Structure 1
């Protein structure tokens, strides 16, 4: 049986999700799971799709980035599929269709996913270099610290006896930001 998996990162990508579902159905997927979540978050539909697989079944995705977030994650997914006796089909990977139930498909997937990981790491390296250069030239100041701008309100609410959790909820900051404000305030008082 062919089991499809479609995913987009955000709810705004409805057309992209619909296109994936259509492509999976055209390919012959009898069942299609779909979700609109980030690849780094919980993936309940992916878990359900994998759970539904039986020996000889294939999980089908339109593109690799719709399935895995890294080479490591892909490796883990492949191990899970292999343990179930299932395979993976990627409909479009560099203009090729890849099927991991064949030796050539496994080789192509490993090579191409490694290249994709390498490209991502190179892009992050270039990004760091660009930021360092911009900082050296005084053109990059980073994100404006929004929580620190709320210091007076945070300290006032804490002094009124409100719990830290309620202060965070009311002011709209994280607990970590609250502790940074407290720490800065205590340091300022001592010094």
Structure 2
């Protein structure tokens, strides 16, 4: 069976998730697992897919390598787990429109090489970003994101005093529940 996996980091990236699902459907995936989760954090739907759904002879399909992993180490661990289960991996947009299938020796080689290059490029990009931010801070042009929850601290405290639950406050103000607790803890 062909399983697709679509992932975005945040829930507001609906267009990106929809595009991945459409691509996976066009590739013939019979079931598509989708979730909003960071590639480096907990991925509940992916873990369920890996542990309970994939069987020998199945193929896992993703649109791009970074939907699966951000580092070559993590990618190779996933590939190794899939191989042990007898599951092939297909990455549709692997390198400028080319796909790769780990069910072949050349596919495994390409995955390892391009995965290492992708990790190297990402590290370089993050380093350039850090240098740019440091320069902008030095020039007084970068102040970071303004805290949204703390700007609403008075409203949060008032809603809490009215007896609203922390979950209800978070939903009403469009902030995380953790931010509500933080704002209430700083009063």
Q: Using structure 2 for the length normalisation, give the TM-score.
A: 0.72
- 1:108-166, Cα deviation, whole Å (9 max, x unpaired): 111111111111111111111111111111111112233333344455667x5969947
Match of 1:17 in 2: 21
Map 1:1-191 to 2 at 5 A.
Answer: 2-9=1-8, 10-13=13-16, 14-22=18-26, 24-25=27-28, 29=29, 31-40=30-39, 42-44=43-45, 47-48=48-49, 51-95=52-96, 96-154=98-156, 165=166, 169=170, 172=175, 173-179=179-185, 181-182=186-187
Helix, strand or coil for the counterpart of 1:82? Answer: helix
Whole-angstrom CA distance in 2 between matches of 1:6 and 1:154: 38
Offset of residue 7 of structure 1: 1.5
Instruction: Mark the runs of 5 or more structure 2 residues left unpaired by the alignment.
Output: none
Task: Calculate the aligned-residue CA RMSD, in Å.
Answer: 3.2
Whole-angstrom CA distance in 2 between matches of 1:168 and 1:34: 31
Whole-angstrom CA distance in 1 between matches of 2:102 and 2:140: 50
Count of matched residue positions in the alignment of Structure 1 and Structure 2: 174
Change (3 A) 1:55 1:8: closer
Instruction: Mark the runs of 5 or more structure 1 residues left unpaired by the alignment.
Output: 183-191
Helix, strand or coil for the counterpart of 2:140? Answer: coil
Contact 1:168 1:178 in 2 (8 A): no
Q: Using structure 1 for the length normalisation, give the TM-score.
A: 0.70
Offset of residue 63 of structure 1: 2.5
Whole-angstrom CA distance in 2 between matches of 1:148 and 1:79: 45
